[in-house]
Structure 1
């Protein structure tokens, strides 16, 4: 960091709210290289979903001076466990999926949104397996998608390279944003993924109870999930929607 850059403890706190999640990493060396890529950009929160081998000497070796990131990394069994407390979860994908989730056309736009949310809440960027990335079910756990615009004739990035590119975008956005605590009431903040998932489950239950959906229809539910992801309701707005659903649910229960 240049000597003329002065950041407060609050600024550093924002970076600590930005999480990198690796899903089922096969080569432990990629975990170490990811830790090094993160530390060069000031990121420290690494969560691993079912890695093939961890802890591992190769991960520690390739982390070089970022062994603290490796040592503090958390291992969880599901992606839901990794991101349930996050308000914005961006799945890094080399290609657009059939799921109609909002997609950031440019990584810098994604980074700006993540940094804005990190003033108050946890956010995450999720990376998939080395060979085939994230599954559709895992993308569905995210609120947004992002792709790195590479050479269309040769767009292959290894895992640590992809982490480095997006981590650099995050750091650039963090440096460009104004310093200091921009206060925002809790009810105006974005809901966590856990809160959104509970809402989606509630919505699904009411749609089936009401007869709006009479048989399994994953595409309809995915489209509604995408609609609310694009709308980005606040916690207060989500609470209003849950209240509406609860009222409808009660009316349905009272029907003969």
Structure 2
């Protein structure tokens, strides 16, 4: 289960922070590190700061975008201050986040951390299914990147450690699991197309589509439920687009 939990660092500026984050991960049994466009990596400073977690550094995967890093994940939690302009489900307590993350770790899940100076962009937050904040001193709530990784990695490890043994041996059937971010993206594209074809959206309505995406993030449909929704959308499409939609659905 821990092998399905990945830490994603987006555009990390200081290579030493990558090494320190790897060390924080390994102390909590996490080994999957994905780096999105790091400024300088590989780098001797990253290996030096890893201090025994060089294997995590050596096996880190480098990708070009956050979407690529989490496309196969069923749950993606972005560590950030609460952004009320983006109505994603939000965990105010890391402990609650960790329990849910571990509960879905039959499939890949991710904890995402942004840049040292300004964190994640709004577009990157939209790649996530949830947000989480770390409670801290309201007068000085600034955490170093590796410190934030350590806090959330600890909560995740603790939640995993307290799971009943039966959950390790009897994972949920595939149809009951949550869809991946890629599958959800196909669904949202399909939904947007049907809304435009039906005349529900007569001009760009980014806010409407964002709110609907947030609604389905809160609902957390299973793969079977998402398949039913895709079938409903296909039934509403004109005949000329059914074949195209069916082809897209095969990818999910």
Same fold (TM over 0.5): yes
> Is 1:222–2:210 an aligned residue pair?
yes
For structure 2, list consecutive stretches of 5 or more residues without a partner in the other structure.
243-252
For structure 1, list consecutive stretches of 5 or more residues without a partner in the other structure.
1-13
| 1:164 alignment partner, one of 150, 155, 158 | 150
The SS at the match of 1:59 is: helix
Root mean square deviation, CA, Å: 1.2
Q: Which residue of 2 aligns with 1:5?
A: none
Deviation digits for residues 119-171 of structure 1 (CA, Å, limit 9, x no counterpart):
x2000000000000000000000000000011101101010000000000001
| 1:111 alignment partner, one of 98, 112, 133 | 98
Distance 1:234 1:95 in 2: 26
Deviation digits for residues 173-217 of structure 1 (CA, Å, limit 9, x no counterpart):
011111232332111110000000110111011111111011111
| 1:55 alignment partner, one of 13, 19, 42 | 42
- Contact 1:209 1:252 (C-alpha < 8 Å) held by counterparts: no
Q: Which residue of 2 aligns with 1:3?
A: none
Q: Which residue of 2 aligns with 1:89?
A: 76
The SS at the match of 1:86 is: coil
- Contact 2:5 2:32 (C-alpha < 8 Å) held by counterparts: yes
| 1:249 alignment partner, one of 219, 237, 241 | 237
Deviation digits for residues 37-84 of structure 1 (CA, Å, limit 9, x no counterpart):
000000000000000000000000000100000000000001011000
Aligned residues: 240
- Contact 2:82 2:90 (C-alpha < 8 Å) held by counterparts: no
Q: Which residue of 1 aligns with 2:249?
A: none
Distance 2:83 2:131 in 1: 8
Distance 1:147 1:251 in 2: 46
- Contact 1:97 1:136 (C-alpha < 8 Å) held by counterparts: no
Compute the TM-score of the two structures, normalised by the length of structure 2. 0.93
The SS at the match of 1:195 is: helix
